[in-house]
A and B are shown apart, each in its own frame.
Chain A
Amino acid sequence: MHFDKERVLGLLQKVKDPEIPAISVLELGVVRDVRVAANGDVQVTITPTYTGCPAMDVMAADIKKELHDAGIPSVKVELTLSPAWTTDWISDAGKRKLKDYGIAPPEHTADIRALKGGTPLVQCPQCHSTDTVMLSAFGSTACKALWKCNACLEPFDQFKCL
């Protein structure tokens, strides 16, 4: 039985980011291409969020496992660096899920404050106040910064704009 691209995409939706299990590799925007050959072989092309992201190997292994388990015998996962991943590729559903998970989603790169090298306006994922302050540009993983909300006083992770 051969799988078409739509079904492969459906399976990829089940593969989560190992460090942020709230969103899938599709919603994160790291899956750049899916090809199904005439003989049923599948090739998935992914791109790293951050150069040194240690989750990439796990993502590749998880993608292979999910597709193998669904009955696809030959799965190849290719890594590409160009074009470089941007937070703009996180889908709207992905951004919503990040927020529900307690991580402030990245602002759009077109945010004028971010463009000018200033501090972007970040909303607290808990109480939605924008009275927030960045504690450190480097957070629990390479892709996140550490923020604090001045209204509810809770610290929170922010997905850095890249």
Chain B
Amino acid sequence: MDIKEAQFIYTLRLADDLLILSQRLGEWCGHGPILEEDIALTNRALDHLGEARNLLTHAGQLEGKGRTEDDLAYLRMERGYTNVKMVELPNGDYATTMVRSFLFDAYHLPLMTGLLSSKDEQLAAIAGKSVKESTYHLRHSSDWVVRFGDGTAESHEKARSALNELWTFTGELFETDEVTEMLQKAGIAPDIAVIKEAWDKTVSAVLSQATLERPSDGFMATGGRKGLHTEHLGLILAEMQHVTRAYPGVEW
């Protein structure tokens, strides 16, 4: 594998996490528990989508085969998607949605902070915008985790149950392989151990404030980065890609 190919794979992973999470959060549009949260989730979905678009465009340029952001988003099948499984899981109740976003935000912010000094200048530029937005995202999801955890007996139970369900899916965020190792050496990707340390710190602090017990690490789901997904991803793509598939080449 040469460095350009590794960069393409890495950038696509970053994009896929955000694109699929954005698609999931967008499902809350019109269904939020209160108007402010309905707006907040669609705002977040839009931020994630914007970042995914920039990353997909960049990935297409790195690949050098003329694929655009639309080609990459709409014309890849499940096995071509390399997002972590956590982002494709169904939204569940509001506690599940917010706990998932919290676990993701706590990873995404230090990741983007690390990418600020990436030798890939375009990646660093995308990270420069993302860090500012991710700070708001993490604040928002942390607030909700605390509110649920340190709320009523029912909200605590919902947050606890969501946290235990999702914990199995957090291992994928910190996986390393040939791609990440090559790019870390080249100064393009940050050291994942540093990201994990920051994530651990944030997660422990917020869970403690939320009176939620941090689950212990057991079996961790894997496979997303290799294109092996849960059955949920196919359904997301079926909806997301429907118009492009039904009317190839359509423009509006």
- Assess whether B39 is in contact with A83, with CB atoms less than 8 Å apart: no
- Assess whether A51 is in contact with B129, with CB atoms less than 8 Å apart: yes
| Chain B residues within 8 Å of A71, by CB | none
Which residues of B99-157 are within 8 A (CB) of A?
Answer: 121-122, 124-126, 128-130, 132-133, 136, 139-140
- Assess whether A52 is in contact with B50, with CB atoms less than 8 Å apart: yes
From A54, A84, A138, A139, contact of B140 by CB (8 A): A138
- Complex: how many Å from CA A53 to CA B50? 7
| Chain B residues within 8 Å of A137, by CB | 40, 136, 139-140
Question: Which residue of chain B lies nearest to A83 when distances are taken between CB atoms in the complex?
Answer: B128
| Chain A residues within 8 Å of B130, by CB | 51
Which of B41-49, B164-172, B201-209 forms part of the interface with chain A?
B41-49
From B36, B51, B121, B125, contact of A52 by CB (8 A): B51
Judged by a CB distance under 8 angstroms, whether B222 is at the interface is no
Q: Is the interface of A mostly helix, strand, loop or mixed?
A: loop
Judged by a CB distance under 8 angstroms, whether A136 is at the interface is yes
From A117, A138, A160, contact of B44 by CB (8 A): A138
Rounded to whole Å, the gap between the CB of A147 and the closest CB of chain B is: 11
Chain B CB count within 10 A is highest, among A51, A54, A81, for A51
Judged by a CB distance under 8 angstroms, whether B54 is at the interface is yes
From A50, A84, A85, A136, contact of B47 by CB (8 A): A50
| Chain A residues within 8 Å of B50, by CB | 48, 50-53
Rounded to whole Å, the gap between the CB of B111 and the closest CB of chain A is: 15
Chain A CB count within 10 A is highest, among B44, B129, B133, B139, for B129
From B47, B48, B54, B139, contact of A81 by CB (8 A): B54
Q: How many residues of B contact A (CB 8 A)?
A: 27
Q: What string of 1s and 0s marks CB contacts (under 8 Å) between A34-60 and chain B?
A: 000000000000001011111000000
- Complex: how many Å from CA A160 to CA B125? 21
- Complex: how many Å from CA A83 to CA B125? 7
Q: Taking A52-B48, A52-B49 as contacts, is the C-beta distance between A140 and B128 under 8 angstroms?
A: no
Rounded to whole Å, the gap between the CB of A86 and the closest CB of chain B is: 8
Q: Taking A137-B139, A138-B40, A142-B46 as contacts, is the C-beta distance between A84 and B132 under 8 angstroms?
A: yes
Q: Taking A52-B47, A142-B47, A146-B36 as contacts, is the C-beta distance between A81 and B136 under 8 angstroms?
A: no
- Complex: how many Å from CA A53 to CA B40? 14
Q: Taking A136-B39, A146-B36 as contacts, is the C-beta distance between A82 and B46 under 8 angstroms?
A: no
Rounded to whole Å, the gap between the CB of A158 and the closest CB of chain B is: 13
* Sampled A-B contacts (25; CB under 8 Å): A50-B133, A51-B50, A51-B54, A51-B130, A52-B47, A53-B50, A81-B126, A82-B121, A82-B128, A83-B128, A84-B125, A117-B139, A135-B36, A136-B36, A136-B39, A137-B136, A137-B140, A138-B36, A138-B43, A139-B39, A139-B43, A142-B43, A142-B47, A146-B39, A162-B132
